[in-house]
């Protein structure tokens, strides 16, 4: 099956998910997710809290092992890749974490230089030039000697992007790029993503629930809900779709059970009517 897919692998398909299932212990988080991401495309993964979108992203970069199904990245199935193969694949990936995940004990420059120092035999002077270039690309020229703790939230995000860009990745992943940022700074990060897309024709995967940002940067979107793909399509298709779950998400319609105060109160009274054991179970 894998062989077949690898033969079929067209250079246009960058990432291919086939019936991907991921579980934490007994609990299955993703129940068979399948879609493709094309080269040079920006794919936004939409989904609410607990929808499984972060798990999906972690699986794509190899931080979680699929329990079944396939994740084909650049023609290799990362579900079955050896540690060496995985390292080779990862050198072509860049990941910007939600909390930026810069190493607190190193300067911004050392953070960006780390992948270069680990994986290349470049001279220090060359690395110095490269890290300056990367920082310039994200609008942080001159900040190489700052410690991460001295940067603002938006600057940390930019520094993390510079580090993700260090190895000139083919695929760039963003986990909630605008989380915790004010609208102006968040717009700046969106702008940065757009620039990277235009300048480097990079394949970009963004996980977010910020709709405005999603519609601005995406070529295509996929909505993940309760571990399933609910909708997938271009920005236009998504905007005009009538798929109920997607409409609810895009039109920001709250879940019915907690929407009306009376219902909520009723729910609470029903709950208190139960025995103690039942309530404890629910809260657990």
Partner 1 sequence: MAFVAQIGSGVIGGLEYLGSLADLGGKAAYYTFIAPFQGKPIRLQRAVSQALDVGVRALPILSLITFFIGLILALQSAYELRKFGAISFVASAVAISMTRELGPLITAIVVIGRSGSAFAAEIGTMKVTEEIDALETMAVNPIHFLVTPKFLAMIIMLPCLTIWANTMGVLGGALFGVAQADFTFVRYIQASVDALFLRDIVSGLVKSVMFGVTITAVGCHEGLATGAGPEQVGRSTTRAVVMSIFLVVVVDLIFTALFFFGSEH
Which residue lies nearer to partner 1 by CB, 97 or 215?
A: 97
Rounded to whole angstroms, how far apart are CA atoms 214 and 41? 13
Instruction: With contacts defined by CB under 8 A, name the span among 24-32, 60-68, 218-226, 258-266 that binds partner 1.
Output: 60-68
Instruction: Tell me the closest approach of the beta carbon of residue 160 to partner 1, in angstroms.
Output: 8
Kindly state the smallest distance separating residue 70's Cβ from partner 1, in Å.
20
**Binding segment toward partner 1, per CB under 8 A, in 17-25, 69-77, 83-91, 228-236:** 83-91
Q: Considering the rule CB under 8 A, would residue 85 count as an interface residue with partner 1?
A: no
Min CB(97)–partner 1 separation in Å = 5
Complex with partner 1: residue 103 or 264, whichever CB lies closer? 103
Tell me the backbone φ, ψ of residue 34, rounded to 5 degrees: -135, 125
Q: Nearer to partner 1 by C-beta: 146 or 215?
A: 146
Q: Is 90 in the site for partner 1 (CB under 8 A)?
A: yes
**Positions in 91-130 near partner 1 (CB under 8 A):** 91, 93, 95, 97-99, 101-105, 114-115, 118-119
Alpha carbon distances (Å) from 101 to 56, 111, 137, 272: 19, 10, 19, 42
- For the chain, the first-to-last Cα distance in angstroms comes to 41
- Report whether 250 contacts 47 (CB < 8 A): no
Q: Does 61 bind partner 1 (CB under 8 A)?
A: yes
**7-46 positions binding partner 1, by CB under 8 A:** none
| DSSP label at residue 190 | H
Nearer to partner 1, 135 or 250 (CB): 135
Cα→Cα distances 245→35, 220, 225, 242, Å: 18, 17, 8, 9
For partner 1 (CB under 8 A), the number of binding residues is 25
How many angstroms separate the CA atoms of 51 and 178, rounded? 18
* Residue listed under structure tokens 């519609």: 215
Strands (E), 7-143: 13-24, 27-38, 42-46, 68-73, 76-77, 93-96
Tokens 């295509």 label which residue?
A: 220
In the list 22, 37, 55, 62, the residue contacting partner 1 (rule: CB under 8 A) is 62
User: CB under 8 A: which stretch of 17-25, 88-96, 125-133, 210-218 binds partner 1?
Assistant: 88-96
Contacting partner 1 within 163-182 (CB under 8 A) = 163, 167
When the beta carbons of 145 and 263 are compared against partner 1, the nearer one is 145
DSSP per-residue letters across 106-174 = S-HHHHHHHHHHHH----HHHHHHHHHHHHHHTT-TT-TTS-GGGS-HHHHHHHHHHHHHTT--SEEEE
CB closer to partner 1, 71 vs 232: 71
In the complex, the residues that contact partner 1 under the rule CB under 8 A are 58, 61-63, 86-88, 90-91, 93, 95, 97-99, 101-105, 114-115, 118-119, 163, 167
């Amino acid at each position: 099956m894998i062989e077949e897919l690898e033969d079929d692998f067209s250079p246009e398909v960058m990432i291919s998910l086939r019936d991907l299932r991921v579980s934490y212990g007994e609990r299955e988080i993703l129940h068979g997710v399948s879609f493709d991401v094309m080269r040079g495309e920006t794919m936004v993964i939409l989904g609410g809290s607990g929808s499984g979108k972060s798990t999906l992203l972690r699986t794509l970069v190899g931080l979680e092992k699929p329990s079944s199904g396939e994740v084909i990245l650049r023609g290799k199935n990362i579900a079955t890749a050896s540690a060496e193969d995985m390292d080779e694949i990862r050198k072509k990936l860049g990941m910007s974490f939600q909390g930026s995940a810069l190493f607190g004990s190193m300067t911004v420059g050392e953070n960006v230089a780390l992948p270069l120092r680990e994986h290349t035999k470049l001279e220090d002077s060359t690395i110095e030039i490269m890290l300056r270039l990367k920082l310039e690309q994200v609008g942080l020229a001159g900040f190489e000697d700052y410690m991460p703790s001295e940067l603002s939230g938006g600057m940390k995000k930019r520094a993390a992007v510079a580090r993700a860009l260090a190895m000139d990745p083919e695929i760039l992943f963003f986990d909630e790029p605008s989380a915790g940022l004010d609208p102006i700074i968040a717009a700046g990060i969106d702008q940065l993503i757009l620039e990277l897309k235009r300048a480097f024709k990079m394949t970009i995967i963004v996980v977010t629930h910020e709709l405005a940002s999603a519609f601005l940067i995406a070529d295509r979107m996929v909505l993940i809900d309760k571990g399933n793909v609910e909708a997938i399509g271009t920005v236009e298709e998504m905007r005009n779709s009538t798929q109920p779950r997607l409409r609810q998400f895009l039109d920001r319609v709250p879940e019915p059970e907690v929407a009306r105060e009376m219902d909520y109160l009723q729910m609470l009274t029903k709950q208190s009517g139960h025995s103690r054991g039942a309530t404890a179970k629910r809260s657990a």
